[in-house]
Amino acid sequence: MASSIGLSRFLETETPTVSLALDPFNVDALVAEITSELNDTNNAPDLDALLARARGALAFDLADARLYSLIGEIKYRQGEKDEAYEFFDQARKLSKTEIHALQRSITRAVETGDLSKAVGEIDILLRRWPEQFSAIAEGMPRILSNPAGYQAVLTAIRAEAPWRGSLFVALNKTPEGLDFANRLLLDLTGSSASPKSNELAGVISGYIRQKQYEQAYRLFLFSLSDEERKLGEYIFNSTFEVVPSGKPFDWQVSNQSGLEVTFATSRDAVEGEGGATVRFLNTPVKNAALQQYIQLPPGSYKISLIASARNLKLPKELFWSIRCVDPAGEIARFNIPEGTYNRQKLRQDFSVGSTACPLQLLTLQTAAIAESWRFRYVGTLVMHKLSIERLPS
């Protein structure tokens, strides 16, 4: 008998039918088998037979919340919803985190408009079962569109809900969700649960994907501290003295094996040696090393760079490029010279036309189109300041 029970436990998850044959009192195996039959999309389950088996199991284990939840699900499918929710409630009394009873209770709370209760139960569900967020993600905009639901979500986030990050990722995918995410970030500002850089970056990037460029830039400006606002020219942090936040209108550093990019912040920079340092590691380098979104209205401008270099060898061009994002097209570029030099001043004039170009992308990149070992970049470039100034019309 002991051997059969042990083997039954071993088989209960993968082959619950065999497990039950070895031990008819194995409730775990029974729950697994009934759940499997209810989830079978190819064959209609015999609900009456499953109900009888679940009720019979209660005689052996009156305190198993899963059995009450299964009976509730069977009753729900039989159209006896009031009685079904009595079983779901009983399951919740025995186990607050019984997953199926929680899911049904959340659905009912949303359907009846009790969104504060729905959010409270979502919080319980996701604290215990975080992988279930995808199952409720689609319903979040509906909850947030209701004042009580929105307030409940905001309260949960302020109480350090562990699903906060998943919520912002989900909301960033649609225009409606972005507006709710933006509102949440504004309401969290100044609280003990202030917006995080990655949340702000995600919403700003979402607005850019949706081509809502003004909204993206306004949120970026709003996110800046008083000290950061002092850096807010046409190019943000033009002297590279603040560590990048990862937000699109701030510097974004490429993660490439062929180079290293470091910022000498105002706190640790040696006099005359501040700025962004790009070290090339004697390998091919393709694509951008640094980039930042900018907004330039139509007009004439000059872009200026103060740079130093040590043994800089560039088999293909290294240059700063300003490109219109929508519609795509290059507005201007200027090349970085090879060699060794100290605080050399470079500049180039350019213009942004009167045709629509609401957003531009500023990048430091190479002209390499393939990672050929014939074109290996070597040496160090230190960029002390990069700025854009508008010229008199």
pLDDT at 299: 92
- Cβ–Cβ contacts within 10 Å for residue 357, how many? 19
Task: Quickly name the fold that domain 252-390 has.
Answer: Jelly Rolls (2.60.120)
* Run of H or E residues at 27: helix 27-39
Q: CB of 299 within 8 A of CB of 354?
A: no
* Run of H or E residues at 363: strand 360-366
pLDDT at 55: 83
Q: Is the peptide bond before 327 cis (omega within 30 degrees of 0)?
A: yes
pLDDT at 25: 47
Q: Pick from 187, 230, 180: which is nearest to 203 by CA?
A: 180
Taking the C-alpha atoms of residue 251 and residue 235, their distance in angstroms, rounded to an integer, is 9
Ranges of each domain in the chain: 252-390
Q: Is the dihedral of CA 40, 44, 47, 53 positive or negative?
A: negative
343: left (phi over 0), alpha (psi -120 to 50) or beta: left
Q: Pick from 276, 226, 268: which is nearest to 251 by CA?
A: 276
Taking the C-alpha atoms of residue 360 and residue 293, their distance in angstroms, rounded to an integer, is 6
pLDDT at 248: 93
pLDDT at 270: 45
pLDDT at 12: 36
Which phi and psi angles does 310 have, rounded to 5°? -130, 115
pLDDT at 78: 87
Over residues 239-268, the pLDDT tens digits come to: 998 888 889 999 999 877 888 999 876 544
Over residues 95-124, the pLDDT tens digits come to: 888 888 888 898 899 888 999 999 999 999
Q: CB of 360 within 8 A of CB of 322?
A: yes
pLDDT at 278: 92
329 burial type by CB count under 10 A (0-12 exposed, 13-18 middle, 19+ buried) = exposed
Residues of the chain with pLDDT under 70: 1-26, 265-274, 370
Q: Is the peptide bond before 195 cis (omega within 30 degrees of 0)?
A: no
pLDDT at 273: 58
